[in-house]
Amino acid sequence: MTKNLNIALIGCGKMGSAMLRGWLSAKIEDRVTVLDPVGLPEEFAAYAPNPVTHYSDAARFSEKAGKADVYVMAVKPQIMDEVCKTIAPAIPGDALILSIAAGQTIGAFESRFGADKAIIRAMPNTPAAIGKGISVAVGNTPVTDTHKDMADTLLQSVGQVEWVDREDLLDPVTAVSGSGPAYVFLLIETLAKAGENAGLDADFAMKLARQTVIGSAALAEQESTLPASKLRENVTSPGGTTAAALDILMDGKWQDIMTAAIAAATKRSKELSS
């Protein structure tokens, strides 16, 4: 982008806050106007009223938001219709609408704002809170390269960005990367519990499990050109302790369990979006 963005952020909960934190850190904003009935999180108080301005009332926000370049939708699904109805008249015709709200389709936003509006739907994940997220995005027909550049600028401030050309792919994306952090945290839980069952102190086992996952993720990031299978093989000596454990895990249908889990999450994502 050649200029900083005038951003309207609708919803400043966990994901909205993560996005705002990233924008301010990357200094990509000219102005951010926030709509959230709960109030602006305390961590952003130092940025108000310039460049961040907060409004609790949607009608007041619509009056004061001005002609923002992009409107980022991050409110809960149960209030989305009401909020969109209030702010729709104030959104300029050439503005981008970027949704990071789970389960809200492009079609739903076209019905609220008009099919002529540029709308991008993105699925970020919770590591965005520390700038380590990954977002997958898809746009409707009116989206231009300029709109995609704006979305890239916003989303890259909290991690990596990938694009798909079919909206239905966001359902398995949600299952893999959107829900994926929970699977990793479950791995930490179960690894620590297994260590405890093997005789380790519970706190010590948890420390070992947590740091092992942290270190392994960092190694996977550093060795990004190597496939995960090669990284696994590098840890595994023939006939050693790791091989003994992998014999159990890989013969125990771990892949089948994960495949079934992703299928279930994908199915639920489709249900929530319908």
**pLDDT, greater one: 64 or 198:** 198
CATH code for residues 5-170: 3.40.50.720
Q: Using CA atoms, how far apart are residues 128 and 22, in angstroms rounded to an integer?
A: 8
Name the amino acid, one letter, at 55: Y
Q: How confident is the model at residue 65 (pLDDT cuts 50, 70, 90)?
A: confident
Single pTM value for the model: 0.93
Average pLDDT, the chain: 94
Q: CA-CA distance, 158 to 72, in Å (whole number)?
A: 14
H helix and E strand count, the chain:
11, 8
272 vs 153, higher pLDDT: 153
Domain extent listing, the chain: 5-170, 178-273
Q: Where are the beta strands (DSSP E) in 108-266?
A: 118-123, 133-139, 159-163
Read off the pLDDT of each residue in 193-211 and give the average, rounded to a whole number: 98
Q: Which fold has domain 178-273?
A: ProC C-terminal domain-like fold (1.10.3730)
Question: CATH topology of 5-170 equal to that of 178-273?
Answer: no
Question: Model confidence over 146-171: pLDDT tens digits?
Answer: 999 999 999 999 999 999 999 999 99
